[in-house]
């Protein structure tokens, strides 16, 4: 079973920041937090990952709480093309996907 | 740099048959993982291959088997197909099996079992 809990769906206005939350209260010390997204049954696309520190790349920012029990993926300026299912994964020896959050970006 | 490729794109089989799906890993990657994604669900981990050896397996029966070749490409074999095996099969490659190595996914193979 997945070790993460995400809201099933969220909406965001185009051009605004999208903040996607994830709870992972049972995360172990050596497990990473990964985020992927999947657009309409294509292969999942890697977004970002982190262990303890906040991370930023050209796609998004990842904020991990100090106790590591939750995290937030931030898409700074959402576009219509960001509409997708977003998966938060706690990765140890393998990657276990949950149901994800369906993000809909609206004009 | 070539990404992860999978073949075929789509496949239709009947119950009881056997199927082989193929995956070419991204250049420089020595680890391949396979996932099954049923309609409306997240991908489920099947197994991982690292340097031609199985390096972890999810909760799938032995009729799901795999192989990795010296060039790190991989095959997923499913015997005695069942209707519930209908799904999108995804492979992902990475520089190594460690959890800090991000996995990059291919486009998937859509298998339909009739």
Report pLDDT digits (tens) over B93-106. Answer: 999 999 899 999 99
The position carrying tokens 């079992």 is B113
DSSP-derived secondary structure letter, A60: -
* Nearest CA-CA distance, residue B76 and chain A, Å: 17
Compare all CA atoms of chain B with the CA of A86 and give the residue at the minimum distance. Answer: B42
Q: What is the mean pLDDT of residues B85-99?
A: 95
Q: Is the pLDDT of residue A1 over 70?
A: no
DSSP alpha helix (H) spans, chain B: none
pLDDT class of B81 with cuts at 50, 70, 90: very high
Partners of A100 on chain B (C-beta within 8 Å) are 42
Looking up tokens 């099969």, which residue turns up? Answer: B89
Give chain B positions within 8 Å (CB) of A28: none
Cα–Cα distance between A21 and A69 in angstroms, integer? 11
C-beta atoms of B4 and A43 within 8 A = yes
Residue B15 has pLDDT above 80, yes or no: yes
Residue B108 falls in which region: left (phi positive, over 0), alpha (psi -120 to 50) or beta: left
């Amino acid at each position: 079973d997945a070790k993460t809990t995400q809201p099933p769906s969220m909406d965001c206005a185009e051009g605004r920041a999208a903040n996607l939350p994830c709870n992972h209260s049972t995360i172990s010390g050596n497990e990473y937090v990964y985020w992927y997204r999947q657009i309409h049954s294509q292969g999942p696309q890697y977004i970002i990952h982190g262990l303890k520190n906040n991370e930023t790349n050209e796609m998004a920012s990842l904020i991990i709480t100090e106790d590591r029990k939750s995290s937030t993926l931030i898409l700074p300026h959402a576009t219509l093309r960001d509409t997708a299912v977003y998966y938060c994964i706690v990765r140890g020896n393998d990657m276990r996907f949950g149901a994800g959050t369906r993000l809909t970006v609206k004009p | 740099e070539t990404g992860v490729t999978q073949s075929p794109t789509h496949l239709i089989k009947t119950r009881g048959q056997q199927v082989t799906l193929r995956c070419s890993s991204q250049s420089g990657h020595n680890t391949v993982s396979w996932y099954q994604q049923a309609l409306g669900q997240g991908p489920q981990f099947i197994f991982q291959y690292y340097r031609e050896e199985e390096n972890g397996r999810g909760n799938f029966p032995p009729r799901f088997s795999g192989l990795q070749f010296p060039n790190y490409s991989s095959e997923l074999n499913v015997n005695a197909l069942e209707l519930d095996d209908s799904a999108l099969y995804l492979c992902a490659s990475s520089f190594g099996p460690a959890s800090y190595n991000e996995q990059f996914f291919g486009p998937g193979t859509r298998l339909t079992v009739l």
